[in-house]
Structures are given as C-alpha cells and as structure tokens.
Amino acid sequence: MTKKVILTGIRANNQLHIGNYFGALLPIVDMAKQHGGEYQVNLFMPDLHSFTTPIDHSQLKEQILSSIRTFVAAGLPIDNPDVHIYRQSYVPAHSELTVILNCFTGMGEMERMTQYKDKSSQLSGDRVSVGLFDYPVLMACDVLLYGSEYVPVGDDQSQHIEFMRDIAERMNTKFNQELFKLPLEVKKQHEFFGKDQGLRIKDLIDPSKKMSKSDESERGIIFLTDEPAVAAKKIMGATTDSVGEINLDYAKQPGISNLLQILALFTAKSLDDVVIEYQEQTSYGDLKKAVAEATEAFLTQFQTNYDQVDMNAVEAKLTASEAQMNEIANKTLHKVQKAIGLR
Ligand code: TRP
C-alpha cells in the first residue's frame, strides 16, 4: 500500500505574480501530474507559517482559498487520488508534534538558521516572534508526520531539510526505534527534481532584480489578477536600454532579455526560438508590442480558467484529503507520544 511520499508546502499569503507562476506554481503542478500515481504527492498550505512575520489577518482566509484555486486553474489534478491537497491547520498533529519536538531542539540550532537570521534582522526587536524562530521545527513536523522522502524546495530551504534529518535521527536514536523516516539529503533531492533551472523573471522597471512582491513599486510586477490591458501597459513601460539590438544577454541587456524570456513563456515557445525570431530586428517597440499582446492573451486565458474552477469540487477535495492526512499524521504522532511516555 505504501507509496513513497513527495511533499511540498506552498506559501499562500501573497498576491501571486507571473514570476511565482512560472518559477514555483507550474513546476509543482507538473510534478503532481508526472508523479501522482507512482508516488503519493502531498501539497499543503502551511497556513500556520503565514504569520511568523506580521500580516493582514483579514485577508488570510480568502488568500489561502484563492491560492488553492490558482493551483487548480494552473492544472493541478485534484481528481487524482494520489494527489492530496490540504491546509496545515486542519491537521492539528502538526502543532502537537511541534510542541514535543521543541523540547528536543537546541536554541543554538535554531539561532544558526540563515533564514531566521536574515528575516529577524529586517524586523525590529519585539516584532521578531518566537514563531519565526521556531519555524524550522514546525516545518520538520510537516514533513516527518508523513514519512516524506522527497521534499522539493528552493535552495533557501536546504538548511531546514538538514535540520529535519537531524531531529528525526536524534529522536530515532534516543528512543531506539524508527519513529520517523528521514527525508533524503539535499543532494539527492536535487538529483531527483533537477536543480533549480535558474528561471527568474525580473522586475520590469529594474531588470537587475527578480520580480518580487516585496518591491514597493507594482509597475514592475505582473500579477495574475492584473487587468490584461493594465498588464500590457506595464510591459510597454518596461525598462530597456540604448543598445539598439535585440540579444539575449542578461548582463548587458537585462531588460530585453527579460522580455524575450517572458514572451517565450507566454507563447510556450522555447527561448531559443524566440531569440532567433527577434535577433535580426532592431525595433524594441515591435518586441514590446508582441510581449504585451502575449501577456494580455495569457492573462485573459488564465483568468477565465480561474473563474471556471469549481470551488465545490475544491472544497470536497480539501475535506477528503484533510480526513486522510489526519489519519496518517495521528498515527505518527501517537507513536511519538508512546515513545516519550505520554501514552
Ligand atoms: N518553508 C517553505 C517556504 O518558505 C514552505 C514550507 C513550510 C515547506 N513547510 C514546508 C516546504 C514543508 C516543504 C516542506 O517555501
């Protein structure tokens, strides 16, 4: 019965843009399509991770459902019985196990986490929450409860994967039984999923930076919810250069290269083909017009798909997955509770 488990968490509390779509969302959807069946694929919303740094709570519930809806609009196969989609807070074993594993985790271990150091340094004193500090323990529980072996995440999460392996091994050794299966080491994760292909859509106004929600100016970002005509205007206003040639050269012509990349993604052509098509041309205006049209077409199609998602089917899928996940997670939790003397 037991299929190997691939698990990944998808953060929900952001307004999604095309950089998220092509860099994170679509790869996950493709992974679920490709491996669901041979593997058990767990995709979950780490909703309890949403407020480790301050957020607008009045939006959270809607944002979570809207994120799930976006995945389904992008083609997530919710009718596949081996693909599970669930919200972390609907499986209380995540929090319960976190309280337990906290007592087997060292302060020093958490203090060394680079993501914690980065994020906490951007916040002033008492806005750095214990939850932010403790984030890797909750993340370890997300993975260990299900015996997950494959955990596709970005490079910024490597240290967290190493921690999961450490805490799992520590518990197995201390209590002299296989309480947890160890996720594979980071190197093996990369062998399985292919290392990040370096797809980075850049900001339209400042193409030296990647497109990112944390930027103050939204003129450089195409959101999935943008009015298609407004998005087209953002493309027309994109920063280019004065070279007067169209080349794929991220160092010398970052703006033009970014537009070529976006055009390739929106028209589902290879980047090579797009470069060949435009290389001989000199008019930036024609390229921009083509990208603007492709952007409008993409967003119009995507937003139609989004509107057509059957939210009753999505709710039913969540309910079914959450029931199944509670069963699996509670078994692991119970094993741990017995081992440590609570049961
Ligand atoms: N920390 C991940 C991120 O920032 C999200 C996440 C939470 C996650 N729990 C997880 C990813 C468990 C994989 C497995 O992207």
Amino acid in position 95 = S
Question: CB atoms < 10 A from the CB of 157, how many?
Answer: 18
DSSP state of 208: T
The answer to whether 314 and 287 have CB atoms below 8 angstroms apart is no
Nearest CA residue ID for atom 4, ligand 1: 11
Q: Which of 172, 154, 160, 162 is nearest to 210 (CA)?
A: 154
What's the start-to-end Cα distance of the chain, in Å?
27
**β-bridge partners, 17:** 223
Q: Where are the domains of the chain?
A: 5-199+310-340, 228-306
Please report the pLDDT score of residue 10 as a whole number: 83
Question: In CATH, what number does 228-306 get?
Answer: 1.10.240.10
pLDDT of residue 126: 75
Q: Where are the beta strands (DSSP E) in 105-220?
A: none
Please give the pLDDT value at position 63. 92
H-run or E-run covering 336: helix 311-340
Could you tell me the CA-to-CA distances from 297 to 250, 266, 292, 293, 303 in Å, in that order?
A: 26, 8, 9, 6, 10
Query: Any residues with CB less than 8 A from the CB of 197 and at least 6 apart, and which?
Result: none
Helix H segments across 42-129? 57-73, 93-102, 107-111, 114-121
Whether 5-199+310-340 and 228-306 share one fold: the answer is no
Known catalytic residue at 317: no
Q: How far is the CA of 153 from the centre of ligand 1 (A)?
A: 7
The answer to whether residues 172 and 178 touch, using CB atoms and an 8 Å cutoff, is: yes
Rounded distance, CA 295 to CA 230, Å? 10
| Overall CATH class of domain 5-199+310-340 | alpha beta
pLDDT by residue for the chain (343 residues), tens only, comes to 689 999 999 877 678 999 999 988 999 999 999 999 999 999 999 999 999 988 999 999 999 999 999 999 999 999 999 999 999 999 999 999 999 999 999 999 999 999 999 999 988 877 899 999 999 999 999 999 999 999 988 888 999 999 999 999 999 999 999 999 999 999 988 888 776 555 779 999 999 999 987 767 799 999 999 999 999 999 999 999 999 999 999 999 999 999 999 999 999 999 999 999 999 898 999 999 999 999 999 999 999 999 999 999 999 999 999 999 999 999 999 999 999 999 9
pTM score? 0.92
**Cα 12 to averaged position of ligand 1 atoms, centre (Å):** 11
| Angle, helix 158-174 to helix 114-121, in steps of 10 degrees | 130
Q: Which of 181, 213, 269, 335 is catalytic?
A: 213
Predicted local confidence at residue 70, as pLDDT:
96
